[in-house]
Structures are given as structure tokens and as C-alpha cells.
Structure 1
């Protein structure tokens, strides 16, 4: 092509480079506004954003939310007596103070707060004169030896052992139900949303730290959704440090790559601008930072650096025969803007497909990340070349590019053998074997959590140690599956309803993974036994309606006000995927057999019910997302290169990486869940960049008439270093997450690092091997038409 034709500018190029001061001024003004917005971003999340609101389980739970007192978002505080047991004056005083302190923490549903000090916690016994009962801690309690002995007897008669009181009498629980929104103490007409981070800090400062320091014989354990989320948000502080480490490493690598401090600063500055724009736009559209969306700034930084490297590499190559920096920048813009746009659109597709998942935090992540990659179009594809057109590139960098363009490169020559007629078939066979092995081992991949406690946190985290304490010392675990038994009004206490509930409880307690089950039937049987002199033969359901009505009078919280809904609480050993599947399957089988007009067994509430619903959404979405990502990426490649063969060369290495990624997750014991599902889409969407940049250059050399292996060698000489560096930068950007205290962030970092590196390797290794079989160089030679990149 003539120099005149090469320098013929497009309309977009003329618009940008003929108005460079205006472009910089607009970017500066936008940056000031969005930087101010970014400063307003705060960590935030909510209970409802982390659950699949449209799932039938969740819809039933929300429909009957007001009837499920204290079975939603709750925190359990276990106060342990390190030496001795709970029946001491000092311990009981500490427990009273903890109860009172929690009562006044904003966001607590005070009407449902329960501990041994609650008036609603009562004991009942059968005497010769009939029933006797009262508060577990009577009004006459004064901490004396006699009072403590009376307390011990009351606890034994209360039925709270294993529930509010540990099996070994060394600890007791304060059960704290929470309100998602609550009246502002300073303005009763305003509702405030529960701030999980602040609530978690108040629990630490006002409860754990205060009372452990006040009484050395007391140790406090806290579990519950709000505490877990609070700990996760606290873990975000470390992420800032990881970002700083990634920035410094990238700075060093960029300078090593460019040998130019000006271009290094330009790439880093424009990429940081992209991150700030993304954060500012997040706040503008009303999003905050949650433990999942914290991944987004890392990805935007990594993606921005990768595109910036391509621009700097192109400008350095063009500077060799360009008159000035402006000409080199314009030529590079003309050459790389379209492939850069296609690569960014592929990145965006990977994020947008996550919108099919009906979980608020994932949808916010998808929207935030999509906004971020679109921002890169302005910062790294437009602002960066404009900035370099002023600053230029160092002579040392230009000289190295000139030398690299003419000298022989042993490393690239070695890699070019991947396109050799003998090596290519071997590569394809190895890839097929790896694909088959990955598919076979990938069958071990599980949906959901595979560990006890909070798998989002490390096994040795304080939260998981507290959770293990609760499991070891109480009969009712923190993993509760709630089955809602729905009847007509006043229908929950009739024999025709209570008998099937009794059968369901028997079925569930004999299901593997279930600790115990309770319902109004549990109370009814105990009361009927009591009304018959405590004779064990009478611990059964009566067919007399009046007897049943009387027997459930003290079943507080186990039926609603009009007796049309009765929850069955099923306590599980853990919330592993297999445990949830067994429990849910058992309930569904029972419901199918016993549901009828006026009697329905509905799933599900409780944290285990929510996790079961989430697992179902993940299981249904996983394949859908993968198919959508590949369809969209393949469609864009097809539209760009107008060749099925080119599309296969780019997409097939990504397929291999996805299969190997699933196998790696199975090997490491990482389940597919809310935290890891996005990685599947992101790895494909971001990984396609390599293939697009490599194939674009390869095709141009094939059109020039070079044989495949030589064309691939020239491709590696011109863009191979940039692709290799891009892969490292992308991987480094997320690899620092592996050291996070938050386990799911570490899992995301590990999986993304693997997928990004393997996608890069696949593009360098498998793409030319596939091209040997799929591309016909002789048909491309001399042709100008074809892909969108052809001149």
C-alpha cells in the first residue's frame, strides 16, 4: 500500500486527532466529576440482593415472611463459660448485660429477641395438681445459691437444652432476629437500611470485645448471615492492599516491556482513570461495593493494561518509519481500534451474560463490569493514543522495536513451530486428550458449598471457628431448612394436618445429614403427655380437636396468628450441596404424596432453604451462561473475520480452557456457586482478546502471501511479546487475590489466573495448530476482502 493510502484517515480518527485538546479537556472534566462520585462509593450489600428472588422457594418464603417469626435473617450469640458452667452469678449477670446491650443495637427485631433472660422463655412441668410453669429466670432471681439451683431446675424443665442452652451447660445463646430496614431513631418517619458492616462492628465492640475483657471467664461466639457478611466486607480492606501490590508489579513489568517511563506512566494513568470512571459510574447508578463486585476494579485495571500494552507496542512499531509521534499514534489507532473494540465487546459479553442469573449481587457485578469495559474504549483506545501523540516514546524503545523488526528471534522462531506440519497434528491430539480428560474429571464438579460453616471464609477464620463451636455444643445447628405447612384458617391444629406433619418429621429425622426436626407437633405431644400424668404412652397426637387446640397453646412461633401456617424446622449437620439435595428431595417426595386441597407442604425458608434455592439457580444457569458466552463470542468473531475457520481457531482454545477449569475446580474441591460462577463467563470473555489480536496479525501476513509458519513467526515478532505480556498482566491483576483472607475471593483469583494464563497459552499454542488444518493460506494470499480488519 502507498503511504498516501495508509495515512488516509477515517472520520473517527480525524474527529479525535484533529481535536486533541478538546478530547483531553472532555476526559479531564468527566474524570473530575466521576472521581468525586467514586469517593462516595461505600461497601454495601443486603440480604435480598444475595438470594434468587424469583425462585419458587424464595417467593414462598417472602410471601409468608410475616408468619415466619425469627426464621429469616438472624444472628446467634453464644456466651461461653470457660471454666465451670452457666449456673454462676457472674455468668448470668454477663448474659443479662449481653441481652440488654444487643436489645439497643439498631436493626435488631426487639420483639423476637430471645435468651434465658427473655420472659417468653418458660418452663413447664406436670404435677399432681396439673400443669405448673413460669419464666426460666423468675422475678425472684437474685443470684444466690438457691436462685441458681432453681434456675438449673427450670432449665432442665424448659426444653431449651440443645437449643438456647448447650448440651454440656457451658454456654447459652442469645437469638437475635434482624430487620432489613428499621425506623430512624432521630426521624421515625424515615426507614434506614441495615448496614451489615456497622452491625458486625457493633457486635464486636459492644459484645465480644467488651464482655470478654470485662469477664475473663467468658468467651463470645457469633454466627449468622449478617455477621458473615460483615466479616466479608471487612476483608475488602485487604483488597486495597492487593490492588497496590498489583499496581507496583505492573509498573515494573510495563517499564521492562517499554523501556520508556513516559509510555509506562501514560498506560498506568489512563488505566487508573478507567477504574475511577467505573467506580464513579457505579455510584451514579446507585450501586455500592459488595464482596463480589470488588473483583471488578481489578478486572478493569487488568483489561485496561492489556489493551494499553497493545497500543504502546503498536506505536513503538510504527514510530520506526513515522515522521513524528502524532503520525505513529494515528496509524496505531487506525490499525488497532477495531480489533480492540471487538475484544472489548467480547469482554462485555462475558459480563452481560451474567444477567441471566437471578441473584442481585451477580447482576450488579455484571452491570458494573460491563460499564467498566465500555469505559476502556474511551480511556485506553482513545485517550491513550492521544496522550502518546503529545509525549511520544523514548528513542531507546523505538530503537529496540526497529532491531526486533529485523533481527532473528530464536524464542519466537521456536514457538512458530506450533504451526509446523509435523508439530500441529501432535498439538491437536494433545489438546483432544486434555479435553477428554477434563470432561471425564469435570464430572466430579459439584454445585454449591462443599465445606461446613461459611465457605466464603477461611476454615480457620473466627467466624468458622465460632460456627464449629455451635455445631459441637448444640443440638440445633445454624443450618435450618424450614418447611411451611399451609392450611385453611384454623386448620393447622386439626389431626388431619398434624398427623402428616408428624410423619414428615419422622421422615426427615431419618434422612442422612439431618440432626433433628421440631414443629408444633413436638410441643403438642409433650403437652398431651403432661396432661396424662407424664405417661410416655400418651406422647402421641390425640384425635380430639379440643385436646389438640389446648396442646399447642405454648407452641410460640410454631404457627401463625390464624393457624393457617405451621413451619417445620429441620436442623441439618451442614449446608453442603449433597446434604441440601437429600433434605430437599425428601421433602419434595413427601409433598408430592401428601399435598391436597387445604394442605400443602411448601419449600422453603431458613438459611438452608435459601442455599438450596441458590444452588438450583446456579445449576440451571451454569450451562446457559456458558452457551450464551460462546454463542456471542463466536458470533462476534464470525462477524469480524467472516470465516468459520477463523472463528473456530479463536474459540476452540477457549473451550479447552473452560473444560480444564472445571476439572481444576473439581480437583481443588471448589464448588460452582455464586462466587465462582462468574469466573466461567469472565474467563471466556476476557480470554478471547488474545486470539483476536493474534489472528488479526496472522491473517494480514497470510494475505501478504507468506506461508503459514512464516506468517505465524512474523505475527509473534510483531504482537507475540504484547500478547505474552498481556497474559501476565491480566493474571497478576487477579493473582494477588489468592492471598485474600476471604476464601471465595481466593478461589476466584485462583480460577481466573488459571483461565487467563491458559487462554493465553492456548492462543499461542493451539491457534496456529488449528490454523494448519482449518485455514487455507493460498485462498487468502493477495485478497483484500474478508475480515473487517482488511484494508
Structure 2
């Protein structure tokens, strides 16, 4: 350490001996006017804090979850006015646990539920279906022709005769398995939702809608005032049970879960406090590091609210990441100041020294972080684009809080003398091959041929194995129900119950057949629709299909006394017209008013990735083979159709996103190191981590979807910091003429603890998510924790090993014409434990 200490900035104990006009313009503006700067920061914090508290909303949106420029989604959006019930809807099931649906008491309860949902804001009342809906009708053929009417008798009074009439109507309507359970113990209400509420013109508030379902339905009917059971999440013990599924309910449950997630944020803060304190043993500097990081979160949320953005279940994770990144950068500033104070430098001067060494480095490191977020803007899913914007805002805020506010605040409070002396003592012990020095000795071995070869071989084998496993990575959901929630959540329990008691699922995949007006009754159109339905039924994932063809066949046969020979599509246009006229009364959702659009609906057994892929392949192939200018087969509508389109976008974006992330990181490394070999050394550990992360997703049964897609980009963008920290300082000393082993030892002794602290702090900030009630957040917590820790280990082990094969050349020495002041600046950067970027900006190969 003796020679290195000579490279440090001079120790100045008295402020009168320091030139206040030294340093760059930004340093002079910030430090020479510290009171004004701190006042300005305080005012901004108060203002943005008020913005965050008063304007920030948790507001998920159905439209933001779907890729609106994807062709399938465009087809749906262009025709959704003619496709009622095939978009955003909720399904409510009321069960009689002590009898069946033919119980006057049950029917009264069902009517209460029906009426409550009918008057709920945001419900598309015209297309709502239940036993009490007049649009749910029965039809039969008699000697006098067709007869029919609403399933619920218009004169219903609850008498035995009325109940018997209802029983007959249900059987004649053919709704057993769809609106009525196969065991007749429950019935379903299908509740389509509008895009915007009619009263306010705003999107539906899913949190309020979900709470209304809980308060007006479950609390009153299922729990009947049993608040203890309600809070515990158990099912009520009353006679009637209410089960609810659908996007709106899922979003409401996610928001309720996010409120619980706030305690995980508090746990992350406490964990960071403990880690930083164990590193520094200084209470005031530890509180300041965490405090500045919390200020960054306040700023980020305030700016997001000010710009009119809302927080949704996906972007709510961003504050966790911003806090963790902020802690890691603030810890670097504290580390540099602590070193200078330990040598006797005045705390204000120490803060200015650290600012000079690390500001440019920190800004560039944050730019590398920002790349991982910014690339997400390329994904055509609004919720991910919003996440990218909010995260980019957070990274920009860190420049002011972690890079400016932190050193200025430390210039006031400094660090404890004992903590500073302890840090210096640790360095001295490390130089004597004691304490951390033993770890540095172990890491130094990876610069030797034997250890480097072994490390590279192990990494290659892990990469090959991980790649083989990652080939099985699937796009989309791998579980039934709502994978965003735990398997034992109330929503997934409800979904499992409904799936087991109803023949037709809520996962609908619809192919739209678009023609000229009245064209859907063309014989050729109906024949092709029938063939499409038959091909879809051959997929194991399809339970049944429904379209105008089914109604036409039944009505045609009924018109001829139920003759089974005429249960077909007739060529006679008058017969087809009559059938459509009858179908429009009982099943108006089968085609639009001018008969220019009709859907072929497939009821899928689930929405797993493989099921959707099979159905899409069949429908897409049929559409390409049979679409003409007069008759187009358009994919896709329905909940499963929308999810299939989302999966397609995610599949395309997955590799494209990684390509752009690595291209941007490669460019940063080339600018930083001015060496393709050094760039390769920095990137290969990141590539290995990405491969192993995908293998981990396969092992854990996690598919690539909207929730998990950003993880790898974030991990790469943040993980490259480790390479910048270590490799830049290592190259600096190699260019001074030191051997690889000596250069790496100095680099790891300068930055090793900081790299370890950054990795552990980032991991600690997200590992708490594992216990989240929201499963996708728990999955992200596991994946990010793995990437942060593995990137850290990869940097400490693979960088020296790869350097042995790629960076031992004498050509690494500096150009003869390098400016001496730049050399001194690089030395100062190394001693200040920077991320390496300052050296890169002041030296060249």
C-alpha cells in the first residue's frame, strides 16, 4: 500500500489550506454553496413528496396489459364493438352448499347478486348474462313452430310450479355446463365490462370494483358478517358461497397484495441498514446512505405522479430497485470519504475529493443501469413501457441524490473517527495477508494458468448445460388459473372450483370472420366456419366450439320437425336467413347487427403456453389458406386470444431485447476500455449469468411473460457495473507495467469489498420479495437475487481467469504520448475505489 498512498490526493486538515475554487464548475457550484444546495434539495423533496402522497394512484388498466399494435390485438380492437363478452369480463358463481339452484331462497340470493352487478358502474349491462337476465332465453320446436322465452319465467313468484318451469327452461336452453353447473348446485353470472365508465369517462377503478364485489357480495352473502373468516381468507361457512374470477378481480387482488408488499419495502430498508452498518460500523453514515436512497424513491414517485403516470402491479417493483441501486452508489461515496477522513483529511475536503474521483464514474455506471431499463421501451406492451419510463426517471434521480446529495451531506456530518480508523486498519491487515487479504489471496489464484483454466472450463460446462436446459424455456403461463397469484390464493381456489364444476371454461379463443354486410349468412362462409370449428376441436386443449353455424343447424333441423337429416347447413339462402333471424333473438352475440362479422369461439381447457400455441397454429394456418378479399379470417379475440397475442410479442421481444441490451453494454465497454479483449472479458460473465437465469426459470417452472420479461434486461444493465469496478482498475495498473497478478490484486483490494457490498445490497433489496403474496413478484425476487449475486461472483472469479487468456499482452501498456495529468487522475480514481469509468475517460490504451 505504500506506493499507492503516494498517489492519493494531499491530506489537508485545515479548510484555510484548501483552494475553494479548485475542481470543476459543478463541484464549485455544489460545495461552495452548500447551504443553498441543501435547502433546494429539501424543498424539492417536500414538493415531490407531496406530489407522491396526493396524486399517485394504483391504477392498472386492461388496455395497458395488451400489445395494442400487434396484428391480432388490432383486429380485436377494430371489431370489439361487435364482440361483446369476448374481452374484459368477470364471472361470478353463486353456490348453494345445502341444496341446488331450484331453491327459492337461492334464487332470491342470485337475484340480489344480479341486481347489484347490474347497477355497478362499468358493467356492460346489455350483454350481462345470468338466470335472471331476460337475454338468456330458451327455444323449442313445436307443432306450431318455434316457441321460446326468457329462462326465468316472467311471472316467477317462487311457487313449486314456477320452480318446475325454470327447471324445464334451463334444460331447453342448453345452458347446463355454461351458466348452470353440471350438478345444478350453482349458477354463473357473466359480466362484461366497459372500457370506460359511463359516469366519468375514465377507466374502471379495479381496486374499487374488486372491493365492491367483496363488500356487496361476499361479505353480505357468503360471510354474513363473519369478519374474522373474511380477513383470514377462509371461505365462509354460510349456506351460499360466492366465487369470482376475471381480469378486474385479478387486478383488484394484486393491488390488495401490493399494499401488503409495502412491509417488504420496510424490510428491505432494515436489511440495507444492517448490511451498511456491518460494513462501516458508523451509525450516522449508515443512516445517511439509506436516507439518501429513500429520498431518491420519494423523488421518483413524485415525478411519476406529476407526469400523470399511475403505479400498477408491475411498475410498483421499480422503487425497490431504485432504492437498492441508490444504496450501492451512496455506499461507494461513503467508502471514499471514510478513507480520506481516516488519513486525516477534513470531512468537507474528503467529500470534494470523493466527488472528483467518483462523479463521472457514477454517472456512467448509472447510464449502464439505464440501458437495461431503456431497452424495455422497445417492447410493445404499454405496462412494460411505463415500467421503463418510471425506472429511467428513478435512475436519473439517483444522479442528484446518490452522487450529489450524499457527498454534500457527508461533508456536514462526516463519519465516525473509530469507523474511519477501522476501515484503514482493515486495509493494512489485508496488505499483510490477514483478514480480507486471505480472500484476496484466493481470488489472485485465478490469474494463474491452473486456476484460470479450471474456472473457464467450469464456466463453459455450466454455460453448455444451462443453454441445453434453457432451450425448454416456454413463453407464457405454465400453470392454470392466475400465475400472478399464489396457488392457494382465494382467486386461484375459485378458478379451480369453477373449472371443475363447469364444462366450459372462461378461456375463450375467438377467430373473427369478417365479410360484407349480410355476408356471414353466405353458404360458403358458414361451411368454412364449420370447418374451422372442426379443426379447432381436434386440438387436445379445446373443450368445445361455438358459432352461428351451431345455431343455424339446430334451427334448420327444428324447422323440419327435428329431422336429424336436416341438422346441417342448407344451400337455400331463405332457410339460412330464417335460421339467422331466429338466432338473433336467442344468441345475438353470435354475429353483429348487419351480419358482417361473426366469431368462431373455442373454449380452451386452460391458457397455458402450449395450449395457446397449438390453437394459434391451427387458426393461423386456416386463416392463411382461406382468407380472401371478400371473406377474412382474423385472429384473435377472447381472453385466450388476447393472451396468445401477448405471448407472441413477448417471444419476439425476448431475444430482441437481449440483443439490444448486450449491444448497448458492449458499446459502453468499448468506450470505457478501448479494447475488444477487455470488452469480451467483461461481457462473458454476463452472458453466462443470462443463460443460467433462463435455465433457472425452466427449473422453477417460470415462463417468459409480461412479469418476467424485464428481469434479464435489468440484471444485465446493473450487473455490468461489477466489471467496470474491477476491470478498469486492473487495466490501469497493467498499463502501468504491473503483471496481471499484481494488477488484479490491487484492483480487488481496492474495489473487492465495494463489489461485494454492491452485490449483497442489491440482492438484499429484492430477496425479501420471495415472501410476497404476489407470485410473479416472488419469481422476480428469486431471479434478480440470483443475477445480482451470480454477476458479482462471475466478476470476481471469471474476470481474472479470462484476463489470463486475453489480457496478458504487453500492448496493454499506455501509449507513450499519454498526458501525465490523465495518469495522475487515473491513479486517484483507482485509490478512490471508482467504478472505473473515470479512468476510462482519462486514459487510453
Which category describes the TM-score, using the shorter chain as reference length? over 0.9
The partner residue of 2:365 within 316, 337, 343 is 343
* 1:635 to 1:459, Cα distance in 2 relative to 1, 3 A: same
Match of 1:632 in 2: 664
1:487 corresponds to: 515
* Structure 1: 5+ residue stretches without partners: 185-189
Q: CA deviation at 1:709?
A: 1.8
Relative to structure 1, is the Cα distance of residues 630 and 782 closer, same or farther in structure 2, using a 3 angstrom cutoff?
A: closer
In 1, Cα distance between equivalents of 2:163 and 2:9? 98
**1:35 aligned residue:** 49
1:684 aligned residue (698, 709, 716): 716
- Is 1:17 aligned with 2:31? yes
**1:34 & 1:317 partners in 2: Cα distance?**
34
Verify the 8 A CA contact 1:665 1:671 in the aligned structure 2.
Answer: yes
> 1:611 Cα shift?
0.7
* Structure 1 residue 536: Cα displacement: 2.1
Aligned to 1:432: 460
Give the structure 2 partner of residue 327 of structure 1.
349
Whether 2:209 is the aligned partner of 1:199: answer yes
Cα deviation, residue 424, structure 1: 1.2
| Counterparts of 2:469 and 2:738, CA distance in 1 | 41
Does residue 398 in structure 1 map to residue 420 in structure 2? Answer: yes
Q: How many residues align?
A: 786
Distance in 1, Cα, partners of 2:466 & 2:374: 27
In the TM superposition, what whole-angstrom CA distance separates every residue of 1:573-619 from its partner, at most 9, and x where no partner exists? 11111111111111111112221231111100111111111111011
TM-score by length of 1: 0.97
2:646 matched to 1:614? yes
Contact 2:92 2:242 in 1 (8 A): yes
Asked if 1:510 is matched to 2:532, the reply is no
Kindly indicate whether the alpha-carbon contact (under 8 Å) linking 1:9 and 1:334 is maintained by their aligned counterparts in 2. Answer: yes
Find the counterpart in structure 1 of residue 620 from structure 2.
Answer: 588
Q: Which residue of 2 aligns with 1:418?
A: 446
Which residue number in structure 2 is paired with residue 719 of structure 1? Answer: 751
CA drift at 1:380: 0.5
Among 96, 102, 113, the alignment partner of 2:117 is 102
Equivalent in the alignment of 1:146: 161
Contact 2:338–2:423 (8 Å) recurs in 1: yes
Q: Evaluate the alpha carbon distance shift between residue 443 and residue 4 of structure 1 in structure 2; reply closer, same or farther with a 3 A threshold.
A: closer
Q: In structure 2, what is the equivalent of residue 388 of structure 1?
A: 410
Q: Aligned partners of 1:430 and 1:314: how far apart in 2?
A: 35
In 2: Cα distance, 1:639 partner to 1:23 partner: 33
Q: Is the 8 A contact 1:457 1:742 kept in 2?
A: yes
Within 1, Cα distance between the matches of 2:23 and 2:110? 77
The Cα of 1:705 is off from its aligned counterpart by 3.7
The answer as to 2:307 corresponding to 1:285 is: yes
Tell me how far 1:423 sits from its aligned partner: 1.0
Tell me if structure 2 keeps the 8 A contact 1:313–1:719: no
Provide the C-alpha distance between the structure 2 equivalents of 1:249 and 1:583, rounded to a whole number of angstroms: 47
Q: After superposition, give the CA deviation of every residue in 1:368-419 in whole Å (9 maximum; x if it has no partner).
A: 0011011111100111011111111111121112212322221222222222
* Partner of residue 772, structure 1: 804
Instruction: Give, in whole Å, the separation in 2 of the partners of 1:473 and 1:154.
Output: 20
- Distance between the aligned counterparts of 1:365 and 1:397, measured in 2? 39
Whether contact under 8 Å (1:80, 1:172) holds in the other structure is: yes
Q: Hey, what does 1:157 align to over in structure 2?
A: 172
Residue aligning to 2:185? 170
Q: 1:571 to 1:399 in 2, by over 3 A?
A: same
**Contact 1:481/1:605 (<8 A) preserved:** yes
- State the Cα distance separating 1:736 from its structure 2 match: 0.7
Displacement after TM superposition at 1:789 (Å): 4.8
Q: Say yes or no: does 1:763 pair with 2:795.
A: yes
Equivalent residue for 1:317, pick from 339, 347, 351 = 339
Change (3 A) 1:4 1:497: closer
In structure 2, C-alpha distance between the alignment counterparts of 1:701 and 1:718, rounded to whole Å = 12
CA deviation after TM superposition for structure 1 residue 355, in Å: 0.4
Map of 1:741 onto structure 2: 773
Match of 1:358 in 2: 380
SS at match of 2:311: coil
Distance 1:575 1:770, change over 3 A: same
Whole-angstrom distance in 1 between the partners of 2:391 and 2:170: 54
Deviation for aligned residue 1:567: 0.9
Between 1:213-222 and 1:677-686, the stretch displaced more is 213-222
The equivalent residue for 2:222 is: 212
**Closer, same or farther in 2 for the Cα pair 1:782/1:122, shift >3 Å?**
closer
Secondary structure, in 3 states, of the residue corresponding to 1:64? helix
Conservation of the 8 A alpha-carbon contact between 1:81 and 1:91:
yes
- The answer for the alignment partner of 1:651 in structure 2 is 683
CA contact (8 A) 2:128 2:192 kept: yes
Match of 2:782 among 750, 754, 758: 750
Whole-Å separation in 2 of the counterparts to 1:502 and 1:36 = 60
Is the counterpart of residue 668 in structure 1 residue 721 in structure 2?
no
Match of 2:86 among 71, 91, 110: 71
Distance change >3 Å, CA 4–CA 674, structure 1 → 2: closer
State the Cα distance separating 1:13 from its structure 2 match. Answer: 2.3
Contact 1:708 1:777 in 2 (8 A): no
C-alpha displacement of 1:778: 4.1
Q: What is the Cα deviation at residue 183 of structure 1?
A: 2.4
Q: Name the SS for the 1:611 alignment partner.
A: helix
Shift of 1:633: 1.0
Unaligned runs of 5+ in 2: 1-5, 12-18, 225-236, 820-838
From the superposition, tell whether residues 3 and 496 of structure 1 become closer, same or farther in structure 2 (CA, over 3 Å). closer
Report the Cα offset of residue 704 of structure 1.
4.2
- Confirm or deny: 8 A CA contact 2:352 2:407 kept in the other structure: yes
Which stretch has the larger CA shift, 752-761 or 330-339? 330-339
Report the Cα offset of residue 698 of structure 1: 2.0
Say if 1:404 and 1:717, in contact at 8 Å, map to a contact too: no
Counterpart for residue 788 of structure 1: 841
Match of 1:112 in 2: 127
1:124 paired residue number = 139
User: How far apart are the structure 2 equivalents of 1:260 and 1:782?
Assistant: 40
